[in-house]
Amino acid sequence: MKFSLKRISFYSLAIAVGMGAFGMVWLPQAMAATMYCKVNGTATVCYQKVTYNNVAPLTQATYLAHGGTCGPCGKPPTSPVSGPP
């Protein structure tokens, strides 16, 4: 199978456009500061109306990114803090 220069440049352009579109959607989220309830320890998190105790920092960030709040459910939430990514 023989590829022409025109076909190779078309595929290169398609790849560049795809990477650019992916980068514009994903990159701002990846560069955003990660939020935690407690950066250096476990915390209580309310996620989907269930209170979780002793939640590790990585899991805190995941819960907060998907709508969770700091503190137990049914009480006013505490403010999350920004931490290292």
Question: What does the alpha-carbon distance between residue 10 and residue 4 come to, in Å, rounded to a whole number?
Answer: 10
Neighbours of 48 (CB within 10 A): 10
What are the tens digits of pLDDT across the range 32-58?
A: 568 899 988 899 999 999 999 999 998
69, two tokens: 């709040």
- Does the pTM surpass 0.85? The reply is no
The half-sphere exposure of 70 on its side-chain side, counting CA atoms within 13 A, is 16
Q: What is the pLDDT of residues 2-28, one digit of tens each?
A: 656 666 677 887 787 777 776 666 655
- Residue 72: count other Cβ atoms within 10 Å of its Cβ: 14
Provide the strand spans (E) within the chain: 34-36, 43-47, 50-55, 69-70, 81-83
